[in-house]
């Protein structure tokens, strides 16, 4: 049943105050399709909520906030020893990572402890420690807002990029993701060349060992949103031209940089922000995290407006010092007032 005027302050990991005009949690296709039909017929704006971990909610969310809670999980053995994992959109992502590791299935162990739900993973092509969702994704199952039709996209149709996908462009606000199909393997395929992961693991780690090591690294560097409100990395790592990177390296020889196949160079947004002296900054109820400047935090009692003002300040400081434009990663939803 659709509820009205629902408090969503606990439905986003930043803990920002927000009320939804209408809200529905649904775990079946028929109910979801009916809600989409009502949204179209009554011209309600639609917002699809997952774990609330990659968004900034403003105080008022008009229309219908829909939260898919499909939580089914099925394993299908296929050719070449691989396994297809059919996972409902409402599953907790880290719980899925742990479930696969418990079966010693390889493919997403480096994506441990990323907050949020399975259905949100393809939207920004989640990635960490040298692995992206695109590396293992086979299919995304969808319901279309316009007509309630079910369709399936393969990896290529998702148009994955760095923290990007078709769901941020052509299909933004037009579909509801209901499930993912991932291809994983029982054969050990550790990818440990990022940071000091290899040093934390035995010579022949199992998938659960990698999950534990990645989780430990993330806990050391990132705040727990249950303790301190945050949306994870607030800015994407910027990509600049090789010439721009070289000019910066002449002034900052220790600057982290990662050459890309297309000729560009990826920079570390956290390092850039730190060099501007902004790590641990506090402005009213919000700030940058004391251990990771890339993470903006909400200490409680604040608002989206405060957080966005801080984000603008960070962007302006990095632009002024390095001539590098930072891009906000969490999506902004809702509006300032009714």
For 248-299, the pLDDT digits (tens) are 999 999 999 999 999 999 999 999 999 999 999 999 999 999 999 999 999 9
Write down the pLDDT at residue 338.
Answer: 79
Strand-by-strand arrangement of the 286-288 sheet = 229-233, 295-298, 286-288, 282-283
> Cα 131 from chain centroid?
13
Write down the pLDDT at residue 40.
Answer: 93
Full set of structural domains in the chain with CATH: 3-68 (3.30.43.10), 73-220 (3.30.465.10), 223-333 (3.90.78.10)
For 11-60, the pLDDT digits (tens) are 999 999 999 999 999 999 999 999 999 999 999 999 999 999 999 999 99
Query: Angle 222-226-228 (CA atoms, 0-180°, nearest 5)?
Result: 60
Distance CA 117, CA 98 (A): 13
For 103-144, the pLDDT digits (tens) are 999 999 999 999 999 999 999 999 999 999 999 999 999 999
For 61-74, the pLDDT digits (tens) are 999 999 999 999 99
Instruction: Check if the beta carbon of residue 137 is closer than 8 Å to that of residue 152.
Output: no
pLDDT at 334 over 80: yes
Positions annotated as catalytic residues are 163, 233, 329
Name the burial class of residue 318, with classes exposed (0-12), middle (13-18) and buried (19+) by CB atoms within 10 angstroms of its CB. buried
- What is the rounded average pLDDT for all residues in the chain? 95
This model's pTM is above 0.75 = yes
Q: Where are the beta strands (DSSP E) in 62-168?
A: 64-68, 73-77, 83-88, 127-128, 131-132, 137-144, 150-154
For 184-238, the pLDDT digits (tens) are 999 998 999 877 888 999 999 999 999 999 999 999 989 999 999 999 999 999 9
Distance CA 201, CA 321 (A): 39
71: region left, alpha or beta (phi > 0 left; psi from -120 to 50 alpha): alpha
For 306-321, the pLDDT digits (tens) are 999 999 999 999 999 9
Write down the pLDDT at residue 193.
Answer: 85
């Amino acid at each position: 049943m659709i509820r009205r005027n629902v408090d969503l302050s606990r439905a986003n990991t930043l803990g920002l105050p927000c009320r939804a005009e209408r809200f529905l949690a649904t775990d079946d296709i028929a109910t979801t399709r009916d809600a989409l039909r009502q949204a179209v017929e009554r011209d309600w704006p639609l917002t699809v909520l997952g774990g609330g971990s990659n968004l900034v909610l403003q105080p008022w969310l008009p229309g219908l906030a829909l939260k898919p809670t499909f939580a089914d999980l099925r394993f299908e053995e296929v050719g070449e020893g691989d396994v297809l994992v059919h996972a409902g959109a409402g599953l907790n992502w880290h719980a899925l990572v742990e479930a696969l590791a418990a079966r010693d299935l390889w493919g997403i162990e480096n994506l441990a402890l990323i907050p949020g739900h399975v259905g949100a993973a393809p939207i920004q092509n989640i990635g960490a420690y040298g692995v992206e969702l695109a590396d293992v994704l086979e299919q995304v199952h969808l319901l279309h807002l316009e007509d309630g039709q079910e369709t399936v996209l393969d990896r290529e149709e998702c148009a994955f990029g760095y923290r990007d996908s078709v769901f941020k462009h052509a299909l933004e606000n037009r579909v509801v993701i209901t499930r993912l199909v991932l291809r994983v393997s029982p054969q050990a395929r550790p990818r440990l060349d990022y940071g000091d992961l290899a040093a934390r693991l035995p010579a022949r780690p199992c998938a659960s060992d990698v999950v534990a090591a990645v989780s430990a690294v993330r806990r050391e560097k990132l705040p727990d949103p249950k303790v301190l409100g945050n949306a994870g990395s607030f800015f994407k790592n910027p990509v600049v031209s090789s010439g721009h990177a070289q000019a910066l390296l002449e002034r900052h020889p220790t600057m982290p940089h990662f050459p890309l196949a297309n000729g560009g160079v990826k920079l570390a947004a956290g390092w850039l922000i730190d060099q501007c002296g902004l790590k641990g900054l506090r402005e009213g109820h919000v700030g940058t995290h004391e251990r990771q400047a890339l993470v903006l935090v909400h200490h409680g009692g604040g608002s989206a407006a405060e957080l966005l003002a801080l984000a603008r300040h960070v962007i302006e400081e990095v632009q002024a010092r390095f001539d590098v434009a930072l891009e906000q990663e969490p999506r902004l939803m809702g509006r300032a007032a009714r």
